Amino acid sequence: MDPLTVMRTIWRYKTFILPAMLVTLIAVVYVFQFGPRYFESNMSYAMVNPKLPTDKELDEQPQLSTLNKDNPFLRSSDPSLITEVVIARLDSSAVAESLKSKGLSADYTVNKGINGNGFVVTITGHGESEEQALATTRALGTTLEEELKTVQKINGADDRFLFTALIINAPDQATEQFSSRLRSVIMVLLGGAVLTFGAVSLARSLEARRDRMNDLKGASADGNAATMPDKQVSSLLIPAFSPDKEFVHTQASGPVTRRSSRTLSATDGESLSHSSNR
């Protein structure tokens, strides 16, 4: 659409468009300043293999051979299996419900580390405030450590034969995600555009209705003007006589009033009446 046409339309219907635009602007400012915010914090763990006793240590410490070393993940051909299991446990609905019961956010992600490293787990917690995001991430870190130990001790393996989680970076601060506020602003702008188009449609509808009413009034006035001369002729051709008053004679071209030289008496009126009957 031509920008000049848009400007002319806005100016023509400014009574309807400008209030809609003002409401939209106020809504955008309110959402951007006071709308819900979205914070994010990150935490990373490295899965560390257990330190198995060497033959020398077994000879020097015979009691090590009596320890339960039945960790099923030590027998796996895929060393990253433990990481996938822990991620699956954290992604369960039970963990999300547990976070909700503590007043934390259930919006989080747990993934493998950079480039899909099988021994690194990255936790990303979200929240409506910085404190909630940090608390959610820390709670997930604690849950990861607990789940990591639980899945390995299914057969009662000793702690010496368990994978451990080493914190790479702790959640020290949460950063605000402006994309969330930007999405809210975009939604408000779309709503404002719909409101503006609705205002234009309403203005055009009222304008068309007003034009129709004016056309009907004009047509009615023209019809009345065309029929008025006939009515005037039929009503104005009758002479009027009034004793002791002015003598009025009307013609089709218009009323002509002449004041008589004397006052008509009742006898003069009767003689005029007889002459008219003849």
pTM: 0.59
pLDDT digits over 227-271, tens only?
555 545 445 444 544 444 444 444 444 444 444 444 444 445 444
pLDDT digits over 215-233, tens only?
787 777 766 655 555 545 4
Is the model more confident about 274 or about 37? 37
pLDDT digits over 67-110, tens only?
888 899 988 888 889 999 999 999 999 999 999 999 999 999 99
| Alpha-carbon gap, residue 74 to 255, rounded angstroms | 125
HEC sequence for 94-136: HHHHHHHHCCCCCCEEEEECHHHCCCEEEEEEEECCHHHHHHH
Average pLDDT, the chain: 79
Buried-state track 122-139, b at ≥16 Cβ within 10 A, e below 16: bbbbbbeebebbbbbbbb
Give the chain's domains with CATH numbers: 39-176 (3.30.1890), 230-278 (no CATH)
Residue 77 pLDDT: 81
